[in-house]
Structure 1
Amino acid sequence: MAAILAFAGSNSSTSINFKLVKHTISLVQSHDIQILNMAEHPFPMYSEDCEKEHGFSNALVKLENDIKKSDGIILSANEHNGNPSAYFKNVLDWLSRLDRNFLEDTKVLLMSASGGRFGGARSLGVLENMLPKFGGEVLATFSLKSFNDNFSDDGILDEDLKSEHQTALNTFLDSLK
């Protein structure tokens, strides 16, 4: 049984990416899953001055420890103007100051959901290139476009997207065996 950490790269209390993460983990069996709601984890904007004056918060150190204890991460990141949100980029900046290789030997299922027709694909591409710089291994990606049309409390509605999501999840889970 693998340890999986699941969270969205959004600090919104109404995050559609967090809804996608919760749906995804509902499909996982026989693994130890820890889910984080990042809306409950505020971090100050990174700056060298802030780091020198205040150091690293307990919440940041706990997040790093949770990541390092995990065999894999299920992550769904939002997109702002074609990039990961400033919030999530900031989290990555803080984590990389604690340990540049904070994702070392960690397998990642990387997803994105968006209300638009591209499903956050540009942000997904940025993160797919960025996470390996911190030691992560992105094993599969999934983009959920037109969230409000393709998702309900029952999960992913579009059969093609549902199949793509399951394939990405299976690829990730198979790597944890």
Structure 2
Amino acid sequence: MSDPILLSLSGSLRQSATNRKLLREAARLFDPGTHIEADLNLPLYDGDLEDGEGIPAAVQTLADQIAQAHAVIISTPEYNKGPSGVLKNALDWVSRTEGRPWAEKPVAVMSAAAGRAGGERAQMVLRGYMVPFQPRILQGPEIHLANSSKEFDEHGKLTSDRYESSLRTLMGKLRVEAGF
């Protein structure tokens, strides 16, 4: 059997975002495997755009990556008590593609945020957003990285053994769920 393909979706577009760092740490702990970082820099969903031009190529690429991945990890910041608009927009667009790329896909969700709850509310809302897609979302351990800007060293590695241990456990469960 070949190495698994792990796709990560960051709810933040910033390259140095703590959600991206968290996903990279998750991929490191998931290894071995091929890690692909999805590009969520998509046009805003617009039914007129879809009707006139069809599904944008970047959206179809994302849907294809989801379909081809053995497992998906998603990390979102918390904006106004919910996931980022970037992430919601990507989910909305992918829902418009042919097939069901999320169906039965093993998925682990996590969050990194500046606040003391670490994006817990955003993660709860995200889990609700995923229900219509029918993936296999792991139930834990939950990763809510609070005060996230202080949780990584200069190389992007988690500095807390507690967070790393929980993330290692979650990635181990995701490997098993993906059949590896």
Same fold (TM over 0.5): yes
- Superposed CA RMSD in Å reads 1.8
Aligned to 1:112: 111
> Is the Cα contact below 8 Å between 1:5 and 1:33 reproduced in 2?
yes
Q: Following superposition, which runs of at least 4 residues in structure 1 exceed 6 angstroms of deviation? A: none
More strand by share: 1
What 5-or-longer segments of structure 1 have no aligned partner?
Answer: none
> Is the Cα contact below 8 Å between 2:30 and 2:172 reproduced in 1?
no
Distance in 2 of aligned mates of 1:134 and 1:172: 18
Distance in 1 of aligned mates of 2:30 and 2:123: 22
What 5-or-longer segments of structure 2 have no aligned partner?
Answer: none
Distance in 1 of aligned mates of 2:127 and 2:99: 17
- In the TM superposition, residue 35 of structure 1 has moved relative to its aligned partner by 2.4
Q: Share of identical aligned residues, percent?
A: 26
Aligned to 2:148: 147
Aligned to 1:56: 55
For 1:33, what is the secondary structure of its paired residue?
strand
Distance in 1 of aligned mates of 2:18 and 2:163: 16
Select which of 156, 159, 172 maps to 2:158.
156
Q: Which has the higher contact order (CA 8 A, sep 6+)?
A: 2
Aligned residue pairs, count? 174
Inter-CA distance 91–154: structure 2 relative to 1 (3 Å threshold) = closer
- In the TM superposition, residue 73 of structure 1 has moved relative to its aligned partner by 0.4
For 1:4, what is the secondary structure of its paired residue?
strand
Distance in 2 of aligned mates of 1:32 and 1:144: 24
Give, as a single letter, the amino acid of the residue that structure 1 aligns with 2:26. Answer: T
User: 1:97 aligned to 2:101?
Assistant: no
Aligned to 2:13: 11
- In the TM superposition, residue 158 of structure 1 has moved relative to its aligned partner by 2.3
Aligned to 2:167: 165
Distance in 2 of aligned mates of 1:59 and 1:148: 30
Distance in 2 of aligned mates of 1:46 and 1:122: 24
Inter-CA distance 87–100: structure 2 relative to 1 (3 Å threshold) = farther
Give, as a single letter, the amino acid of the residue that structure 1 aligns with 2:8. Answer: A
Give, as a single letter, the amino acid of the residue that structure 2 aligns with 1:24. Answer: A
